[in-house]
Structures are given as structure tokens and as C-alpha cells.
Amino acid sequence: MDSPTEEVAGAATDPVVGSILDDRYRVDGLIGRGGMAAVYRADDLALGRRVAVKVFTASTEGIDDADRRRSETALLASLTHPALVTLYDAAQDRATRREFLVMELVEGEDLRKVLERGPIPRRDTARMLADLAEGLHVIHSRGIVHRDVKPANVLLASAHLPTRRWNAKLADFGIARLLDESRLTATGRIIGTPGYLSPEQVRGEAVGSSADVYALGLLVLESLTGRQPFPGPALESASARLVRDPEIPGDLPAQWRELLAAMTARDPADRPSALDVALATESLGIDEQSHASTGATTALLHPPAAEDDTRILPATRTDVGAQPDDATAATRVLTGVGAAPAPSTAPQDGGERRRLPRRLVLGLSAAAVVVGAAIVIPVTVGALAGGGTPAESTPTTPSEAPMPSVEGDLGVHLDQLEEAVSP
């Protein structure tokens, strides 16, 4: 859902505003509008509380099966966590036949609007990453893949501690399941935003939880630099990640570079799980002179390989990207894209990546914090406030890696993707 702090122009003429959905939810204002749905502020007349209501467009179908809607809603509503926007209800308005979701109303900005003012300090980004990675771990453990991790789906509620700027919350998880992902993939549709799709989503392959980790890596890079890692038109942005890794600034501390390179590896099997990412964030605030903490972060992300298992860390690049344009467009249900098998309801990717035993992971993470605490540099009040200067606009420049002419099934898929995202 979009930020609940800014009313959208044209809300006065919106027929949903002022209506009562399903004889229960009285809509009094438009919050935001995207390609798939519009989000409204409303009152739950039955329970007497303020809520956010996401009403899908007439062209987006999938939750009209009442029995399946109830079962999926019960599953998603059971996922209560501080880093997840709570889902209350999913229903269909009898009068208009429009399907909608009812969610927790979060008072605060979304990350997209915050990034319009410039990059975010590393301290705030690390805490936001910890929140989001933990939230993803919770949904992944229940067999749910978000599929659309992006700044507009990250809500930043004001924190009540002087040492913390925000509490980050992830919105719109489970949308693919509620819209019936088996139906979507069978008709050649993809839920996602071009600027944050994983390479496997671009190729039209089966999507697992590692796709969310990749998108989270791109989101964090954008938060630190103020620039989208893969800018440009939708097709260019989506296909560029098939031939190169995102640029990771060399002036970032080694722990950050190591973590981001692992999260944005092109091979899904080389990415850490969301749980590994959450644990690794505990060492991101440690001073770079602590070699022990750097080693602990490395061990968390890349467990020792067997003798017959050679691991090569993802390479980083130094080519400078341009400012984003339509790669930051709203979530779309892309049509005409080659269908991939629907993922199973079991937790994704858990058995494919080599991981350290849980006790050892926790021990390494704790060791990183203890070693670094002895040399941590006091943070100034200005850093705690977290204000950033707006990033200057830079002209769009072509990527150093030329776009290849692709043949075969991948080429056909990219042609279909271009048609799907073209205005």
C-alpha cells in the first residue's frame, strides 16, 4: 500500500470515496493509486477503527472464489509481526463486484517518498534492513513469496526512541496468493515492478524466496546511494540485470559490500536467506577497522564449502547508473509474458542453499557485535536525526555493458516483456 500521509489529487471525483464497501467499510479519502489498485483511508464500522482499504481495478481478478479467499486471508492474517502490515480482511463488494483488502493503517511515509529527498544514512538503512529482512523471514517460513519488494511497499512509521528514526513495515505481501498465482502464471502474467524484478523473474522462471532477497538488495542500494541500481526504461532496466551485477560503491564499508554483493547475486542459489541477512545486519554498524567483525559477516553469508564445492563471490562493478525514470513505475500485472510453474506452498529455497548450523550463525553474529563494540565510534546527534541532502539529478548514460541480442527462448521472453510494459 502507498503512504497514508498524502491525499491524491482527484479524490473528490472518485466514486469509491464516500461509499460503504460490503456494508462495513466507510471510505473517506484516497491515499494512493497504482497500476493494480487504489488505496483508501476508511472506517471499520463494525469494530470502530481506522483502516486502509486496497481496492483492485476491474481488470485484476482472482479472489472471487469465496472459500479460497477465506483460507488465504486466514493464513495472511495469522502473520503478525512488527515489520509486517497486518491484513484484516479480504472481500468483494456486493454492489460493485470490486474485490478489496482491508489492512492496518500505518501513519507515516513510504520509502519511495523519503528517497525523493535523497539517500538515507547507513545507520538508519541498517535498522530498516534488519526490520524488513526479519519480516521476509516470517513470510518465507510460511511458504509465501512477496514478489514485489520495492520502496513504495515499505512504510516507515515514526519510532518512539531517540536512537531510532523509523520502524519499517512491509506491505502487500501475499498479494500473488490472494490473486491466485496459479491463474496468473497460467495466463502469462507477472506481479512485480520492472526496476526491482529478480533475474529469474525477468527470464520467466519459477520464483522463490530468493527473489525477494534480490529485490531487497536493490532497495537497500538505492537507499544508500539515492540512485536506482538499474535505471532506465522498463525493458532496459529489467534485462540489464541479466548481463551485469548492480554497482556497489567502493566507499561502503566491507561488511556492506559483502552483504549487498551476496544479496544481488544473479544465481538465486548464491543468495543468503532472509534470516541470514537479518543476522548479518547486526555487524553493519561496527567500525571497518575490526577485521574480526568483517570475518564474522563473511562467515554468515558464505558458509565454508565442501572440498568439491568451489564458491566465487559475486563481482562488483564501478559503472555509474543514471537517475530512474519509468523503472520506478507502479506495480503491474504484466501480460503476455511466458508462464512459469507456480511455486509450491512449501517454504522456498530452504533446501538449496548451504547454511551454517543455527547455533554457529548466532554465535558468529554475537561475536561480531562484541568485538566491534570495543571500537565503535560514537554517533553524533545529527547522524541519529538521519537527514540527507537531495541527490542531484544526473543525465541518463548508457550502461557500460552493451545490451546483447538474445536468441532462443530468453529472447522471445524479453520481447514479450517489452510488449507487456510498453504504454
* Residues known to be catalytic: 148
Give the whole-angstrom CA distance, residue 355 versus residue 271.
11
Residues contacting 283, CB < 8 A, separation 6+: 255, 293, 296, 297, 365, 368, 369, 372
CB 123 within 8 A of CB 156: no
CB 283 within 8 A of CB 369: yes
166 CB neighbour count, 10 Å cutoff: 21
Phi first, then psi: what are they for 280, rounded to 5°? -65, -25
Give the whole-angstrom CA distance, residue 212 versus residue 219.
10
Give the whole-angstrom CA distance, residue 329 versus residue 321.
17
Give exposure, 387-415, as e/b (b: 16+ Cβ within 10 Å).
Answer: eeeeeeeeeeeebeeeeeeeeeebeebbe
Single out the residue of 395, 46, 362 nearest to residue 227, CA to CA. Answer: 395
C-alpha distances (whole Å) from 94 to each of 49, 64, 65, 265, 328 are 22, 11, 13, 46, 34
Single out the residue of 55, 131, 53 nearest to residue 88, CA to CA. Answer: 53
Single out the residue of 288, 244, 289, 283 nearest to residue 367, CA to CA. Answer: 283
Give the whole-angstrom CA distance, residue 229 versus residue 416.
23
